[in-house]
Amino acid sequence: MTEKPQSIHQFKVNLLNGTNVNLDQYKGKVLLIVNIASACGFVAQLQELQELRESYKDRNFEVLAFPSNDFGRQEPLDGEEISQFCQVNYGVTFPVFEKTMVRGEQAHPLFKFLADKKLNGVLSSTPRWNFHKYLINQNGEVVDYFYPFTKPLTSKVKKQILRLV
């Protein structure tokens, strides 16, 4: 009998204001976890992520954003500055967490889990740039990923979400 892979529900993360959040509060929700950066060429995807959230929020869907400075030092902002940037420029209402390392030895345990098949039991996909997206099912299990150049409102992303909600 093989052991069931762990889920993202085992992790704790901090919101931009420092509030500690246990990801088990998202049990029963389909999630799109994205590493973001305010100075990245893909930053307009924040608006699409917000539109995606609005389209499916009544179907137990949520976007979780993790600012990261891992790629080209494209996240120069911190804390409240990141929050203001996302809200003012893109109308973001989904949760944005503290600046997080998403690759390498110093990566947050959540991103180590998301990126490594040995840990998540499904796939290996380390973020290679900002706006790498992981799709998580209602049980907190990784089911798919999308590269940064795959925009959130593409039919590919929406079809995968609709399969799960």
Which residues does the annotation mark as catalytic? 40
3-state helix, strand and coil shares in percent for the chain, rounded to the nearest 5: 35, 20, 45
Joined together, the tokens standing for residue 160 give 């995968």
Q: Do the beta carbons of residue 51 and residue 151 sit within 8 Å? A: no
Distance, CA of 9 to CA of 64 (rounded, Å): 13
Q: Between the CA of residue 122 and those of 6, 112, 119, 146, 148, what are the distances in Å? A: 11, 13, 8, 14, 20
